[in-house]
Amino acid sequence: MDVPSDRVGVDGAAVAPPGEPRRPLSQRYWRLFAFLRDRTAVLAAVVLLAAALGAVFAPWLSAHDPYEADNLLRFAPPGTPGHLLGTDQQGRDMVARLLWGGRVSLLVGVVPTVLASIIGLALGMLAGYARGLLDQFVMRVLDVLLAFPMVLLAIAIAGVLTPGVTTEILAITVVLVPYVGRLARTATLGVVTMPYIEAARAAGGSSPVILARYVLPNVLSPIVVYATTLMGLMIVVGAGLSFLGLGVQPPVADWGTMVADGRVVLRRAPHVTVLPGVVILIVSLAFNFLGDGLRDALDPRTARR
């Protein structure tokens, strides 16, 4: 797969050596406040909310059916009466396509990332907390997954299930797990040596309790940050899979597929491929800035000066 994202690494906060203990989870209000002060992050959140709302309410927002084609109006440029952003190579309304496309793109961006984060978090924390053989075993399994061709995975899953969004989500999830897992383990390693964990142990706290109450809150922040970055990238990964015929089924198109299909007619009608490309850019940027904002808000060490 040609998706930088499927081999993307961890973001800054993630692998950074653990420093002083972080604020306990109770200071939520301060964090919310810090986040709201970050105008870029708030703007990013607003953009994403708008994209999500656009996708959810697509049927009410667009005057056209995204699959209905007007053959007399193929490649109509933006500004054509009745078609604000023009039409595509089949004469389908671009506004409608973009709104509906968001349903799949956002789904493919968010769901695998969340799933992989949960699984990766569990594995990474377990490995980092237990250490020893279990750690070795989990990490080697993650190494195996890391070296995995996503295309093969997608073909195999599509064979067992059926090609479509589910296949796409499953394949991307499996590919993402080792990245989140590694990150979670590194973060856990930094936490478990902290005095307060020792103290909790000495006080007779059981492992599940310690993991849930003390480790998780401290590991969660880098994962959340990382995951928001991944969400933007996964939209592009999904496009790669669709490009190879393993993703969404026509006539449904996600933004990535719109870019891929439209690139052949780039010279003739640039808007067909440029518009969805720009949407992907904006949404990716928003996910990234949201991630930065969350990091700053969640992690006092990088708080604003």
Site for other proteins in 35-74 (CB under 8 A): 67-69, 71, 74
Of 234-263, which residues contact other proteins (CB under 8 A)? Answer: 236, 239-240, 243-246, 249-251, 256, 259-261, 263
Q: Which is nearer to other proteins, 10 or 220 (CB)?
A: 10
Q: Of the listed pieces 45-53, 79-87, 115-123, 160-168, which binds other proteins according to CB under 8 A?
A: 160-168
Contact 55, 106 (CB under 8 A): yes
Shortest Cβ 192–other proteins spacing (Å):
10
One of 28, 37, 140, 213 touching other proteins (CB under 8 A): 140
Work out whether 266 is an interface residue with other proteins (CB under 8 A): yes
Asked whether position 109 contacts other proteins by CB under 8 A, the answer is: no
Instruction: Please list every residue from 217 through 236 that binds other proteins, using CB under 8 A.
Output: 232-233, 236
Closest CA to 233 of 289, 175, 285, 293: 285
In the complex with other proteins, the residue whose CB is nearer, 27 or 136, is 136
Q: Which of residues 69-98 bind other proteins (CB under 8 A)?
A: 69, 71, 74-75, 89-90
Closer CB to other proteins, 112 or 256, in the complex: 256
Closer of 56 and 146 to other proteins (Cβ): 146
Q: Does 155 bind other proteins (CB under 8 A)?
A: yes
24 binds other proteins (CB under 8 A): no
Residue 15 makes contact with other proteins by CB under 8 A: yes
Contact flag: residue 175 with other proteins (CB under 8 A): no
- Nearer Cβ to other proteins, position 177 or 246? 246
Measured CA to CA, the distance from residue 72 to residue 261 in angstroms comes to 20
Applying CB under 8 A, which part among 98-106, 116-124, 134-142, 208-216 lies near other proteins?
134-142
